[in-house]
Amino acid sequence: MTADEMKQAVALAALELVKPMLDKDAIIGIGTGSTANHFIDALKPYAGDFAGAVASSDASAERLRAVGVDVVELNSAGTLPVYVDGADEFDPHFNLIKGGGAALTREKIVAAASQTFICIVDGSKQVGVLGEFPLPIEVIPMARSLVARELVKLGGDPVYREGVVTDNGNVILDVHNLSIVDPKGLEAKINNLPGVVCNGLFALRGADQVLMGTPNGVESLIAK
Ligand code: 5RP
Check if the beta carbon of residue 97 is closer than 8 Å to that of residue 207.
no
| pLDDT tens-place string over residues 76-89 | 999 999 999 999 99
* Residue 1 scores a pLDDT above 90: no
Ligand 1, pocket residues at CB < 6 Å: 31-35, 85-88, 98-104, 107
| pLDDT tens-place string over residues 133-183 | 999 999 999 999 999 999 999 999 999 999 999 999 999 999 999 989 999
Q: What is the pTM of this model?
A: 0.97
Query: For residue 187, what pLDDT is reported?
Result: 98
Query: For residue 197, what pLDDT is reported?
Result: 98
* Residue 224 scores a pLDDT above 90: no
**Mean per-residue pLDDT over the chain, rounded:** 97
- Residues with a catalytic annotation lie at 107
Give phi and psi for 222, each to the nearest 5: -110, 130
Write out the DSSP string of 116-128. Answer: EEEEEEEGGGB-S
pLDDT tier for residue 196 given thresholds of 50, 70 and 90? very high
The alpha carbon of 103 and the centre of ligand 1 are apart by a number of angstroms equal to 8
Query: For residue 171, what pLDDT is reported?
Result: 98
| pLDDT tens-place string over residues 87-121 | 999 999 999 999 999 999 999 999 999 999 999 99
From residue 32, how far is each of 24, 129, 180, 190 by CA, in Å?
24, 23, 24, 23
From residue 128, how far is each of 30, 153, 186 by CA, in Å?
26, 24, 17
Reported for 107-110, long-range contacts at CB under 8 A and 24+ positions apart, including other chains, are: 107/31, 107/32, 107/56, 107/57, 107/202, 108/198, 108/202, 108/205, 109/56, 109/74, 110/29, 110/30, 110/31, 110/54, 110/55, 110/56, 110/74, 110/80, 110/83, 110/85
The alpha carbon of 100 and the centre of ligand 1 are apart by a number of angstroms equal to 5
User: Hey, whose CA ends up nearest to atom 5 of ligand 1?
Assistant: 87
The alpha carbon of 195 and the centre of ligand 1 are apart by a number of angstroms equal to 23
